[in-house]
Amino acid sequence: MKGKLSVIGFGPGSFEHMTQAAKEAIMESEVIIGYNTYVDLIRGLLSGQHIVRTGMTEEVSRAQEAVRQAQAGRKVAVISSGDAGVYGMAGLVYEVLMEQGWRRDTGVNVEVIPGISAIHSTGSLLGAPIMHDACTISLSDHLTPWDLIIRRVEAAAAADFVIALYNPRSGRRTRQIVETRSVLLRYRSPQTPVGIVKSAYRDREEIAITTLERMLEHDIGMLTTVIIGNSATVVYDGLMITPRGYQRKYTLGADVQPLKPHERLRAEAEPWSLEAREGAVATAEREPAAGAAKSEAAAAEATAAKEAEGAAGDAAASPLALALEALRLVETQRGAANAGAPAETPSWQRESDPFRRREILEFAVSPGLAEKRLTAAQLTLLADIVGEDGSIEYTPHHQWLVRLVTSEPQQAVSRLEAAGLLLAPVGDVAQIKACDFCNMDKADSVPYLEDLQQRIGGLKVPKELRIGFNGCGMACYGAVREDIGIVYRKEKFDLFLGGKTVGRNAHPGIPVAEGVEPDRLLETVERIVRRYADEAHPNERFHKYYSRIKELEGYRYREVPVFKIENAVCGD
Ligand code: SAH
């Protein structure tokens, strides 16, 4: 008689959430093998089966015993919580069989019965946090090197995955979750929603929704799954929800959709799609956009360098990104050149070296976010670094635009930063323009300004985005005239959205909120800017985007009464 080995995932733990197939396989089996607590969870299904209970860390002997019993001709059920193929017994059973040279057609019959894994059971209790690309990461380093785990955390954080952390913490392993959170904070806002579920669908179920900043204040243990939201995840009425992206195309509150069904899958309706992007790259290659023309030299260099490498060019890259890409290429070549050069004078340092390349680096410089005064030493240094070949252009945006021709871009950047100057990328990035806080007499809101800069300063956006931040109700630096205006008043903030900053029909932003608490304000502005970054069409200005989508974080767009006046293009 040929035995049978069923590896069964029994789901989160409640009877109703176990599949019919799992129940039947358990009831039909003669031997049940599982971790003590799990056997207790399925007790209601048992009718005199032989039970082999084992403790934690005894998985290997459990799998070996299961194989032995099945080979002796018995019907064996190996049980795992959730899904047996997710950090469960399925893989281990197959590994033991492989070790013995087992074959599907001649060996014991093996089946894996799927179950609801913790990512899904806990997700369902939190709302709908797993609506977009997600991954699971187990923080247990008993069998996996910690270096590998933390690399995966970093990769998932950088790629904006929703992340379900399994085995987040145990009595012995307490530091892993702390380290994981620090890495996540390098990529995600402290306000990112985090769901913590303990014992989903079991007796002592606990559900908490918090933020990345505060998650460690909650009870996290071996029966907990922690779900980290992505940059779009929101909390609504105690639920954690990750939008799928429908709002990019549909107006969710309207009965009639702006796009007819036959228009919805066209490339024009999906400017973010691969098809539409390829079209845009082809156009940009034929006729570089006005913004990109500024950095033609740098772009041409970097494009040439990229082509040399066979890499695909990115037409939307900012000049600083291009410069850094160029730097990376130079460093790769240094490495290659170094290989054959004497150690004391690497060949790339010699003037005659053909690999020594001079790059054009373009960036904005200012004395600081709030500081408007420059010292003589800073000016001298700037003049020295810019030299004869570079240029400094005074812009209307509280900063100088610097173009450097240099073979040592990183060194120039470090020297300027060491002198206390603030360097920022130029082009299509989020830029915060603050007032001088009355020479720091009214500096109460400066920490919030710095927080905002941390969150979104320099973030790549579809079109240059200026955020005015003024420290009192006088708003004398004109915050309300920027794309987004923030005015601090009586320990709270007023918010203005969608200023039209240039043109003869320019107008200030729409006052959308008064007296907003600082934390909420920062959180809201960050979400608005990130949504704009994700959802706007290429080159779509913020005020156009706002008037198109009609609502941002609950603030409805209102038509601004303006005189009808033709908006002349430059030179007319
Ligand atoms: N095979 C299981 C995972 C086993 S690893 C599955 O697919 O779900 C054990 C980890 O799973 C726990 O540390 C916890 O992070 C998670 N987990 C399993 N059951 C859970 C439940 N009912 N509630 C919350 N988390 C659970």
DSSP result, 471-515: SSTT-TT-GGGSSEEEEEETTEEEEEE--B-SSTT-BPPEEEEEE
- Asked whether residue 19 carries a pLDDT value surpassing 90, the answer given is yes
* Beta-strand relationship, 224-228 and 162-166: antiparallel
pLDDT the model gives residue 320: 59
pLDDT, tens digit (0-9, with 9 covering 90-100), for 66-96: 999 999 999 999 999 999 999 999 999 999 9
Distance 220 CA to ligand 1 centre (A): 12
Residue 221 CA: nearest ligand 1 atom is 13
313-326: average pLDDT: 56
Distance 16 CA to ligand 1 centre (A): 17
Q: Which two tokens stand for residue 538?
A: 């290429």
**Higher pLDDT among residues 308 and 429, named by residue:** 429
Query: Predicted confidence band at 440 (pLDDT cuts at 50, 70, 90)?
Result: confident
Residue 205 CA: nearest ligand 1 atom is 23
- Asked whether residue 533 carries a pLDDT value surpassing 50, the answer given is yes
Which residue has the CA at smallest separation from atom 18 of ligand 1?
118
Residue 115 CA: nearest ligand 1 atom is 7
Distance 260 CA to ligand 1 centre (A): 44
Q: What percent of the chain has pLDDT over 90?
A: 58
* Residue 365 near residue 399 (C-beta atoms within 8 A): yes
Q: Which phi and psi angles does 190 have, rounded to 5°? A: -60, -20
- Give CA–CA dist 115/12, Å, rounded: 8
- Asked whether residue 569 carries a pLDDT value surpassing 80, the answer given is no
Neighbours of 209 (CB within 10 A): 20
46-50: average pLDDT: 89
- Give CA–CA dist 313/42, Å, rounded: 57
SS3 category, 179: helix
Query: Predicted confidence band at 328 (pLDDT cuts at 50, 70, 90)?
Result: low
**Higher pLDDT among residues 455 and 284, named by residue:** 455
User: Is 3.30.950.10 the CATH classification of the domain at 119-241?
Assistant: yes
pLDDT the model gives residue 213: 94
Distance 240 CA to ligand 1 centre (A): 19
| Lowest-confidence pick of 36-50, 285-299, 471-485, 506-520 | 285-299
Number of H helices, E strands in the chain: 17, 24
Distance 454 CA to ligand 1 centre (A): 35
Neighbours of 275 (CB within 10 A): 11
Distance 198 CA to ligand 1 centre (A): 9
pLDDT the model gives residue 105: 92
Query: Predicted confidence band at 436 (pLDDT cuts at 50, 70, 90)?
Result: very high
Residue 225 CA: nearest ligand 1 atom is 15
Query: Predicted confidence band at 475 (pLDDT cuts at 50, 70, 90)?
Result: very high
Distance 416 CA to ligand 1 centre (A): 51
Task: Locate the domains of the chain by residue range.
Answer: 4-116, 119-241, 357-426, 428-571
Distance 236 CA to ligand 1 centre (A): 25
56-61: average pLDDT: 81
450-465: average pLDDT: 93
Question: For residue 518, which amino acid is it?
Answer: P
For the chain, give the number of residues. Answer: 572
H helix runs in 370-445, sequence order: 376-386, 409-418, 437-440
pLDDT the model gives residue 44: 85
* Residue 257 near residue 217 (C-beta atoms within 8 A): no
| Lowest-confidence pick of 52-66, 177-191, 226-240 | 52-66
- Give CA–CA dist 433/439, Å, rounded: 15
Q: Which of 83, 88, 75 is nearest to 26 (CA)?
A: 75
Which residue has the CA at smallest separation from atom 4 of ligand 1?
87
The topology under which CATH files domain 428-571 is Sulfite Reductase Hemoprotein; domain 1 (3.30.413)
- CATH class belonging to 4-116: alpha beta
The topology under which CATH files domain 357-426 is Alpha-Beta Plaits (3.30.70)
Q: Which phi and psi angles does 485 have, rounded to 5°? A: -120, 135
Positive/negative CA dihedral, 202, 176, 178, 148: negative
pLDDT, tens digit (0-9, with 9 covering 90-100), for 249-306: 677 777 777 777 877 777 777 777 887 777 666 655 554 444 333 344 444 444 444 4
pLDDT the model gives residue 451: 94
- Give CA–CA dist 4/76, Å, rounded: 6
pLDDT the model gives residue 322: 67
Query: The pTM is what?
Result: 0.55
pLDDT the model gives residue 129: 98
Q: What percent of the chain has pLDDT over 70?
A: 83
Q: Which of 166, 167, 198 to mutate to test the pocket of ligand 1 (most atoms within 8 A of CB)?
A: 166
83 exposed, middle or buried (CB, 10 Å; 0-12, 13-18, 19+)?
buried
Ligand 1 site residues (CB inside 6 A) read: 12-13, 80-83, 86-88, 117-118, 121-122, 166-167, 197, 199-202, 222-225
pLDDT, tens digit (0-9, with 9 covering 90-100), for 375-428: 999 999 999 999 888 889 998 888 899 988 777 778 888 889 888 999 988 888
- Give CA–CA dist 215/195, Å, rounded: 9
Residue 118 CA: nearest ligand 1 atom is 8
- Give CA–CA dist 115/92, Å, rounded: 17
499-521: average pLDDT: 93
Residues 6 or more apart in contact with residue 123 via CB below 8 angstroms: 129, 130, 164, 195, 227
Distance 214 CA to ligand 1 centre (A): 22
Q: Which of 92, 196, 198, 224 to mutate to test the pocket of ligand 1 (most atoms within 8 A of CB)?
A: 224
Question: For residue 63, what are the β-bridge partners?
Answer: none
pLDDT the model gives residue 291: 39
pLDDT, tens digit (0-9, with 9 covering 90-100), for 340-364: 433 343 333 334 433 344 567 888 9
